[in-house]
Amino acid sequence: MNEYDSKRIFDIVGKIGYKKTDDQENADCYIINTCHIRDKAKEKVYHEVGRIKNIYSNKNKPIMVIAGCVAQAENQEMLKREPFIDVVIGPQSYHKINKILKNFQINKKEEETEFDTISKFDLLEKTKNSDNAVSSFLTIQEGCDKFCHFCVVPYTRGPECSRPYKTILAEAEELIKNGAREITLLGQNVNAYSFTENNKEFRISSIINELENYSELKRIRYTTSHPIDMTEDLIDCYYSNKKLMPFIHLPIQSGSNKVLKLMNRKHKVEDYLDIYSKLVKINSSIKFSSDFMVGYPGEEKSDFEQTIKLVEEIKFINSFSFIFSSRPGTKASKLKEYDINQSKERLVELQSNLFKNQINHNKSLINKNIDVLIENKIEKQNKYFGRNEYLNPVILDGDKNDIGKIVRVNIENCNQNSLFGKITNKMEAA
Ligand code: SAM
Ligand code: SF4
């Protein structure tokens, strides 16, 4: 979502004449868009500000803006800790950035951290999305009302808020006109999307079904979804919708019901398995990926073993896994943390199981012909980059006319992260 937000911030500041530059030594303004989900991210921000400060030690400083969730969570603290920072602006206030930049005065610190999501969505509607990537993101929902005990999102992104249905379709049309062949619908809880107009409720399934009608659009994805919002209408999309990719990122966090309860996840392992079996029954080629957390306060060895068992049962083909990081203001921050070495050991064991699944999946594609959407040429190489239906990176020979097309590729080799192959048929797959 930060990638999407960063692009939209560029669209907004472009209205008052700012342009992107690679000239790090002569910029008028730096904007760092930040993530606060784990502690390391915050320190990275100060490190990056320090690096920029060194560049400008002997000349006029640029306007230094910190945007995103670290700005939201730390606000005044950041201005005090690092005087080189001029402006902090939260993720639901970035539509106000032009007013701040236009009125900027040296030595006048600015802070904007209101949850003003509706007026942000209004401004996004009025600001042309200039993204021209083959695979584009489109935010449909932001915020979270679920309050998992470990997570800062409800505090940094605010309550769940869905964008108006028609605005989303208008932005999708723009992206498609700009060359998007794949759209990933985004939200902190993307499948909680709900917008009511004229007594009709629109859900994420409504958006997916509508997007299916755009002939130039070839692929639809969404992320990140929550198990409790995997409603029947969304599951039904996997019956009817040919453009919805058979790959679902559905975070579970732990394979132990006890830990899920401690985390306030509001779903059980059985609910997750039920969703999995319903989807695989609809389409046996559907694959899952997930988010996992180890070392959550209260996670015992037997709980961790249940997570490992789940990973053996559902062959997740790609996942994110983290050690619990205590976040200020969350309920879990009051709990006693585990021995970090034990958490590290658990993470290593979990990841070795996840990587085994990942590499087995990649190997299973060797000598197969698969559909790949070609996204771009790889810089300084005579190779092209694309992705298969499961979002695996595919590296291949191609030419620039293939960008934006779905081609058939014979997979010859793989490593843990990528597949390598040759185009066998340039006729665009349906
Ligand atoms: N809303 C999604 C869900 O609940 O399924 C997840 C969104 S969250 C931004 C992305 C992931 O970051 C989570 O699934 C979780 O695994 C991880 N995460 C969140 N808070 C964390 C924390 N305090 N420590 C470690 N990992 C964390
Ligand atoms: Fe965070 Fe996701 Fe839980 Fe919301 S549902 S609190 S975003 S982990």
Q: Tell me the average confidence (pLDDT) per consecutive run of 10 residues in the chain, 430 residues long.
A: 93 95 94 90 91 91 95 92 95 93 88 90 91 95 96 93 96 96 97 96 98 97 97 95 96 98 97 97 96 96 97 94 93 89 96 96 96 94 95 94 95 95 74
Q: Say yes or no: CB of residue 188 within 6 Å of ligand 2.
A: yes
Q: Whose CA is nearest to atom 11 of ligand 1?
A: 291
Looking at the CA of residue 253, tell me the nearest atom of ligand 2. Answer: 8
* Domain end among 114, 144, 165: 114
State in Å: Cα 151 to ligand 1 middle: 6
State in Å: Cα 254 to ligand 2 middle: 14
State in Å: Cα 4 to ligand 2 middle: 19
What CATH number does residue 22 fall under?
Answer: 3.40.50.12160
Is the torsion defined by CA of 100, 102, 103, 109 positive or negative? Answer: positive
Indicate if 310 and 259 belong to the same structural domain: yes
Indicate if 144 and 105 belong to the same structural domain: no
State in Å: Cα 331 to ligand 1 middle: 14
How far is residue 172's CA from residue 136's CA, in Å, rounded to a whole number? 9
Counting ligand 2 atoms within 8 A of each CB, the residue from 1, 149, 156, 189 with the most, and so the one to mutate, is 189
Q: Looking at residue 430, what is its pLDDT?
A: 47
Indicate if 128 and 230 belong to the same structural domain: yes
Q: Say yes or no: CB of residue 321 within 6 Å of ligand 1.
A: no
What CATH number does residue 197 fall under?
Answer: 3.80.30.20
Indicate if 222 and 340 belong to the same structural domain: yes
Q: Which residue in this structure is represented by tokens 């789940």?
A: 310
Q: Say yes or no: CB of residue 148 within 6 Å of ligand 2.
A: yes
Q: What are phi and psi of 306, to 5 degrees?
A: -70, -35
Looking at the CA of residue 325, tell me the nearest atom of ligand 1. Answer: 24
For the chain, the 3-state helix, strand and coil shares in percent, each to the nearest 5, are: 40, 25, 40
Q: Whose CA is nearest to atom 3 of ligand 2?
A: 148
Residue 423: both structure tokens together = 């185009």
- Reference 85, options 75, 97, 95; nearest CA is 75
Indicate if 28 and 104 belong to the same structural domain: yes
- The reply to whether omega before 223 is within 30° of 0 (cis) is no
- Reference 121, options 72, 166, 74, 183; nearest CA is 166
- Reference 207, options 197, 194, 223; nearest CA is 194
State in Å: Cα 152 to ligand 2 middle: 8
Q: Say yes or no: CB of residue 42 within 6 Å of ligand 1.
A: no
Helix, strand, or coil (residue 161): strand
Q: Say yes or no: CB of residue 36 within 6 Å of ligand 1.
A: no
Indicate if 356 and 397 belong to the same structural domain: no
pLDDT in tens, 275-310: 999 999 999 999 999 999 999 999 999 999 999 999
Indicate if 391 and 377 belong to the same structural domain: yes
Residue 98: both structure tokens together = 């032009």
Counting ligand 1 atoms within 8 A of each CB, the residue from 249, 291, 338 with the most, and so the one to mutate, is 291
Is the torsion defined by CA of 76, 79, 82, 86 positive or negative? Answer: positive
Query: Containing domain of residue 133, as a range?
Result: 118-363
- Reference 260, options 234, 223, 290, 224; nearest CA is 290
Q: Which residue in this structure is represented by tokens 């994420």?
A: 204
Looking at the CA of residue 147, tell me the nearest atom of ligand 2. Answer: 6
pLDDT in tens, 47-104: 999 999 999 988 889 999 999 999 999 989 999 999 999 999 999 999 999 999 999 8
In the DSSP assignment, the letter for residue 38 is S
Q: How many domains does the chain have?
A: 3
Q: Looking at residue 240, what is its pLDDT?
A: 87
How many other β-carbons are positioned within 10 Å of the β-carbon of residue 56? Answer: 17
Indicate if 296 and 399 belong to the same structural domain: no
* Domain end among 363, 388, 416: 363
Indicate if 107 and 122 belong to the same structural domain: no
Indicate if 358 and 317 belong to the same structural domain: yes
Fill in the amino acid letter for 240. S
Q: Say yes or no: CB of residue 266 within 6 Å of ligand 2.
A: no
Indicate if 40 and 61 belong to the same structural domain: yes
Indicate if 39 and 101 belong to the same structural domain: yes
State in Å: Cα 26 to ligand 2 middle: 39
What CATH number does residue 405 fall under?
Answer: 2.40.50.140
* Domain end among 46, 81, 114: 114
